[in-house]
Amino acid sequence: MARRLANALPRIEPAWQDQGNPIGGQGMVPTRPETDPDHAAVPACDGTDALPQPGFGECRINASDLACRRGDRLLFARLSFAVQGGETLHLAGPNGVGKSSLIRILAGLLPPWAGNVARQGAVALLDERLALDMHQPLGRALEFWARCDLLEPQDMNRIASAAELDDLLDVPVRYLSTGQRRRAALARTLGRGAPIWLLDEPLNGLDARSVATMGGMMTKHCASGGICIIASHQMLPAPVTRRIDIADFLP
């Protein structure tokens, strides 16, 4: 299936362009990597050395005095931060506090009730919406997006391998488990080639090995000059520049 996937894709040079307006923002003080006792012993055998490493240009995302209202409930208010290339922001807090809503605001899919967001650089969003044809084999579903993203065939194969999808390319997407769908969404995110990653609960449904793989990919992405903004109630398996607890911004 991997060979058919490679032959089906056009050989076009991948490209992305900055989107949004240039913005300014304060830097962040690096912190020690977050650790989770359940995952700390997992070796970092994540296969990310096989991934293409794009040289991202300047990328930034700046949120100013954000507030989010859903129905009659004001989830958070007066939330501001700035993130630049090479940094990871962990949006923490219990379920229902507004983490997913904030990710959608940052992606431009949900208008804030107050405040504004400015971005420099293209965005890739990973959330519970898989964005893959449920009735197609996984390999075919990924082929569609690879064409849209002008991705090289060999790079798509490396991405599928790094996400541990080699044995699943012939399986219809609707038959994949929660963890397998999460890894497929990760492959889609990698293929986008965007410098800004917005990840909503990316660790849900993943076993310890896949968590380590995800952490390795996050680390590689930021080391290449990209941005990771991750909404998760779990500890992250990657170095974190700053952690914001959304509950601290309750109105």
50 vs 96, residue with greater confidence: 96
N-terminal to C-terminal alpha carbon distance within the chain: 52
pLDDT by residue (tens digit) across 28-75?
333 334 444 333 333 333 444 444 445 677 899 999 999 999 999 999
CA neighbor of 222 nearest in space, from 48, 9, 45, 43 = 48
The predicted-structure confidence for 146-157, as pLDDT tens digits, reads as follows 888 888 777 777
In this prediction, residue 54 carries a pLDDT of 55
Give Cα separations from 185 to 56, 124, 163, 172 (angstroms).
21, 11, 9, 14
Domains and CATH numbers, the chain: 2-249 (3.40.50.300)
Closest CA to 189 of 57, 4, 51, 45: 51
Q: Using an 8 Å Cβ cutoff, are 146 and 9 in contact?
A: yes
**Residue in this structure with the two tokens 């397998």, named with its chain if needed:** 180
Average pLDDT over residues 76-81: 97
Q: Which residue has the higher pLDDT, 169 or 33?
A: 169
